[in-house]
Structure 1
Amino acid sequence: MSSNLVKGTAILTIGLFLSKALGLLYVIPFYAIVGEKNIGLYQYAYIPYNLALAVAISGAPLAISKFVAKYNAMGDYATGRKLMKSGVLVMLLSGVLSFLVLYFMAEPIAHLVRKSDEQIFTIAEITSVIRWVSFALLAVPLMSIVRGYLQGNQKFEPTSVSQLVEQIVRIVVVLVGGFIVVNVLDLSPRTAVNFAVFAAFIGALAGLVVLYKYWMKYKPEFSQLYASSPTASNVTFLDMYKEVIGYTIPFVLVGVINPLYQFIDMITFNGAMSSIGLAKVTDVYLTMLNFLTHKVVMIPVMVATGFSMALIPVITGYYTKNDQKGLTRSLDQTFQIMLYLTVPMVLGLIILSNEFYTFLYSENPVGSGVLAAYAPVAILFGLFSVTAAILQGIDRHKWIVFTSLTGLLFKMVLNIPLIKLFEVNGAIAATAIGYAIAVGINIYVISRVLHYRSRMVFRRLVLIGIFNVIMFIAVHFTLKGLLAFSPVGGKMQALLYVMICAFVGVVVYGALSLKSGLAQKLFGDRLTRITKKLGFGG
């Protein structure tokens, strides 16, 4: 079992979980400050921002971690340092250019979004909010190269901590600023949304400060490795960036694929909904899909994202050394743990969709229906992230480009007709089909290239599936009993029901996993020693 993979994944996943959890929880008070109709303006800013950010970063954290890990595995620490020094300038330039592009493209994007005069937001309001968020692009790319270099040196903590601090600072600015704008200055909630998206820039500056402190902490260690390293290999800057750019194209696609799916919804959903007479509600429905429920659905995905970030340098190291056993062991471990943790979270969201939506936002049958329909797609999001990371680690970049674009093509072709037939669920179905096709091709390529077959993993996944069915039944009947006793009457009652059902789910799933020995096999010797003391099977 790869201790580097487990440790790196744990650090990154904990940081991502806290960051995602905070990113969800702050929406509750912000939703209360600006209201359901105005919060939709927020997502119109963040989708084009995420696209511009992915292009600006150009997959830097993962691409650079792969490059550095490769040369470190050969004992050449000087080449990685050489990339780091020149990359800082490249990222600064990239940030400025992407800021300018997004700032001046804001109005054309707004025209793509507004398809009917019956819609809630004006062209000017959508343009303004996109321009305010664009300032964050001046700082975020610089963070990305530092994170990538540190991850390539197996230093995962700085990425995790800086993301967390960045998120905390951003949220504090969003909530305090939003409250002051609306309740103290008595300005429009839409003005508060402008201020809220600008908070991304302030959060990024805080993240940079954290990374600088970590850099100073690790500097003596890096200097020692650099001093013991042979002179940087005969890799010219042109060759070096050619190699990195070769990595970055698939990295960009992986980083940008989810925002691209959302962007397709953003520019097609309103037009399709208007054509079937639903222009008055299209902004609100799109907000439910692309912002309110999407934030909840992405919580289970953070497990896969943590694996992806930690997996690439580990897989690259094994692949460079031609260590087939190490590769197989890492893949076995990844697929099992990811699905073991992700599937029960998804099932929980489906069963408790009404209670989750009521607690987080407000009671809304449409919103909770969207959450229940959207939740299963999280498994596909996670599998795409992990399988793409594996392909990146074994230098099959062209396949990532092919599968990403193929899935996206299906989304583009199917989106409008499915929306016209099934409204919001049509957009969800088009996303699921696109991701399923991409994941299917990725898995096929991995199995062919690495000759990867694992009956043990298949048996374990069947066992995980059985445990999830049992857990699903237990939680379902627990909720039915609670609702029969008293229907949900407010946010606190909804939260109470979520907590009771989650407790039942964790106890049932945990007991089955421990009694069967599955959890011990997945999470290693330390858990085995603890569970033996508690009387569970090892």
Structure 2
Amino acid sequence: MSSNLVKGSAILTIGLFLSKALGLLYLVPFYAIVGEETIALYQYAYVPYNIALAIAISGAPLAISKFVSKYNALGDYATGRKMLKSGMMIMVVTGFLSFLVLYFSAEPLAKLVRKSDEQVFTVDEIASVIRWVSYALLVVPLMSIVRGFLQGNQKMMPTSVSQLVEQIVRIVVVLVGAFIVVNFMHESPVIAVNFAVFAAFIGALAGLAVLYKYWKSYKPEFDHLLANSPPASDVSIKDMYTEVLAYIVPFVLVGVINPLYQFVDMITFNGAMKSIGLSSVSDTYLGMLNMLTHKFVMIPVMVATGFSMALIPVITGYYSKNNQKGITRSLDQTYQIVLFLTIPMVIGLMALSNEIYYSLYGKSEMGAEILASYAPVAVLFGLYTVTAAILQGIDRHKWIVFTSLLGLLFKLALNIPLIKLFETNGAIIATAIGYSIAVGINILIIKKTLGYKSQMVYRRLILIGLLNVVMLISVVVTLKGLTAISPADGKLHALLYVIICALVGAAIYSYLSLKTGLAQKLFGDRLTRLTNKLGLGR
């Protein structure tokens, strides 16, 4: 794997990890401020917002990254700058239009969601949170195109830092605002949620300010490359956007597919639960699925997302130069690292689901059960992200559209009957089936197009599986030993058990990975030299 891919992946992954971690941790105090029932209202705003955001952005970060990387590889820096200038204008327009659409569709969406008078929230309350979150669409699309341009120039740090700052500012506004609304203004928690979703707009402004600062620091370098670049290719604005639009539809689907699966749950879950007499708990259970546990499940996925964002420009560069060896090496390394990092996280979430849920939210058998059932789907989320990124890099965009929509169709067809049979687990099973179909076809297309075969990946996957079995046994034995001595009887007690078990599992997994030489093979020469000094190499 190229050093650029390793470095870019590491930067984006670290940034995404911190952003996702903060996005999870802030729910703990927010949950305490507004309560279990009211926090479910939060996800009614964010599911349609995420869909509108993906459409507004139109896959801009990755599409522009791919476009700029392609022309930079040809030494044509002028065409990338030309795209940036026109793209910023388009993002302003699409952002404003998306804001209008989401704002005025809030009430119809709310009516789709509310299926019974037994539900916790009214149509007006659901519509209100959707309207308040829509304001963020005025800023985020503009931010996205700048991120894409910088990523296409192998500048990954601005994306990571701006995402992190955006998240920090948003969280501070959410928590401080909600606390003031509930405890000082003595308004209802529903009003606090309205203010909390509006914080997405304030956070986006902060992220945009960070990108502007980075742009000023990089501008001399970009201007130098532009000055020494040949004139922009003879590509008209129309032709330029025809090329970018060919990238955009699959990029949009990759960005919006997870929110679309959640949207299917949002519009079908309450009706299905009503049909089996569970309307009184459907809002709460849907909040657990789409909000509280979904945040946990997406933490392992951020590893795959970080790699896919860095992978696309690298794969595009190799593909443009017909460098088959470079493509194969990058794919081998990416598959292995993604599975090496995501599988143990998933197993940890499953093994410690009761203690994790208890320590952060409160004791809830249903919440812990949903988390344990949902966690394995994270592997499919990650593989979908990576395989779709590979197909984008080798210009197989139509297949992304086909597999994504096919998986979503299965989710839509199976969701209601499975929910009626298995309640919340039915929605999880339908999601797993849809993603499995999409990932399976994506892998077949990659193998056929590139003639990609790698027995090494299969062998390494078996080794990763064995290491995870040993790790799981160690975690389960440790947890049973701790609970035998003293069952967790409070949040801090449960958190202590999570930390101890996680440290034991991580230590054993890391030690075995180093001792077998697997980690050194995946992460390169620097780690090998370090482990040799420490006496951990084979």
TM band (smaller chain)? over 0.9
2:363 maps to 363
Return the offset for 1:457: 1.4
Counterpart Cα distance in 1 of 2:228 and 2:127: 53
2:424 maps to 424
1:443 maps to 443
2:200 maps to 200
2:209 maps to 209
Q: Paired residues, what number?
A: 538
Residue type at the aligned position of 1:203 = G
Return the offset for 1:204: 0.1
Residue type at the aligned position of 1:48 = P
Q: Structure 2 matches for 1:41-440, cutoff 5 A?
A: 41-440=41-440
**Partner of 1:435: helix, strand, or coil?**
helix
1:473 maps to 473
Counterpart Cα distance in 2 of 1:443 and 1:205: 39
Counterpart Cα distance in 2 of 1:357 and 1:468: 22
Return the offset for 1:483: 1.0
Residue type at the aligned position of 1:219 = K
Return the offset for 1:460: 0.9
Counterpart Cα distance in 2 of 1:223 and 1:3: 25
Residue type at the aligned position of 2:439 = V
**Partner of 1:395: helix, strand, or coil?**
coil
Residue type at the aligned position of 1:106 = A
Return the offset for 1:50: 0.3
Counterpart Cα distance in 1 of 2:126 and 2:288: 17
1:520 maps to 520
Map Cα deviations across residues 146-172 of structure 1 (whole Å, 9 max, x no partner). Answer: 000000000000000000000000000
Return the offset for 1:529: 0.7
Counterpart Cα distance in 2 of 1:518 and 1:265: 39
Map Cα deviations across residues 161-190 of structure 1 (whole Å, 9 max, x no partner). Answer: 000000000000000000000001111110
Return the offset for 1:269: 0.1
Map Cα deviations across residues 352-376 of structure 1 (whole Å, 9 max, x no partner). Answer: 0000000110000000000000000
Map Cα deviations across residues 305-344 of structure 1 (whole Å, 9 max, x no partner). Answer: 0001000000000000000110001001100000000000
Residue type at the aligned position of 2:310 = A
Counterpart Cα distance in 1 of 2:456 and 2:418: 39
**Partner of 1:385: helix, strand, or coil?**
helix
**Partner of 1:537: helix, strand, or coil?**
coil
Counterpart Cα distance in 1 of 2:3 and 2:182: 50
**Partner of 2:187: helix, strand, or coil?**
coil
Counterpart Cα distance in 2 of 1:225 and 1:410: 48
Map Cα deviations across residues 501-537 of structure 1 (whole Å, 9 max, x no partner). Answer: 0111011111111111111111111111110111112
2:531 maps to 531
Residue type at the aligned position of 1:506 = A
Residue type at the aligned position of 2:125 = E
Runs of 4+ in 1 over 6 A off after TM superposition: none
Counterpart Cα distance in 2 of 1:490 and 1:285: 23
Of residues 474-483 and 100-109 in structure 1, the stretch that sits farther from structure 2 once superposed is 474-483
Return the offset for 1:416: 0.1
Unaligned runs of 5+ in 1: none
Map Cα deviations across residues 480-516 of structure 1 (whole Å, 9 max, x no partner). Answer: 1111111111110111000110111011111111111
Report % sequence identity. 76
Map Cα deviations across residues 349-407 of structure 1 (whole Å, 9 max, x no partner). Answer: 00000000001100000000000000000000000000000000000000000000000
Of residues 501-510 and 251-260 in structure 1, the stretch that sits farther from structure 2 once superposed is 501-510
1:33 maps to 33
**Partner of 1:270: helix, strand, or coil?**
helix
Counterpart Cα distance in 1 of 2:386 and 2:155: 20
Return the offset for 1:129: 0.4
**Would you say 1:22 and 2:14 are equivalent positions?**
no
Counterpart Cα distance in 2 of 1:507 and 1:206: 38
Of residues 501-510 and 165-174 in structure 1, the stretch that sits farther from structure 2 once superposed is 501-510
Return the offset for 1:422: 0.1
Counterpart Cα distance in 2 of 1:401 and 1:236: 27
Counterpart Cα distance in 1 of 2:301 and 2:71: 30
Counterpart Cα distance in 1 of 2:136 and 2:311: 28
Counterpart Cα distance in 1 of 2:518 and 2:371: 30
Residue type at the aligned position of 2:9 = T
Counterpart Cα distance in 1 of 2:224 and 2:179: 49
**Partner of 2:362: helix, strand, or coil?**
coil
Counterpart Cα distance in 2 of 1:379 and 1:456: 20
Return the offset for 1:268: 0.1
Counterpart Cα distance in 2 of 1:517 and 1:535: 12
Map Cα deviations across residues 404-461 of structure 1 (whole Å, 9 max, x no partner). Answer: 0000000000000000000000000000000000000000000000011011111111
Counterpart Cα distance in 2 of 1:249 and 1:464: 35
Residue type at the aligned position of 2:318 = Y
Counterpart Cα distance in 2 of 1:347 and 1:160: 27
Map Cα deviations across residues 10-41 of structure 1 (whole Å, 9 max, x no partner). Answer: 00000000000000000000000000000011
TM-score by length of 1: 1.00
TM-score by length of 2: 1.00
**Partner of 2:537: helix, strand, or coil?**
coil
Of residues 505-514 and 59-68 in structure 1, the stretch that sits farther from structure 2 once superposed is 505-514
Unaligned runs of 5+ in 2: none
Counterpart Cα distance in 2 of 1:376 and 1:457: 20
Map Cα deviations across residues 110-161 of structure 1 (whole Å, 9 max, x no partner). Answer: 0000000000000000010000000000000000000000000000000000
Residue type at the aligned position of 1:120 = V
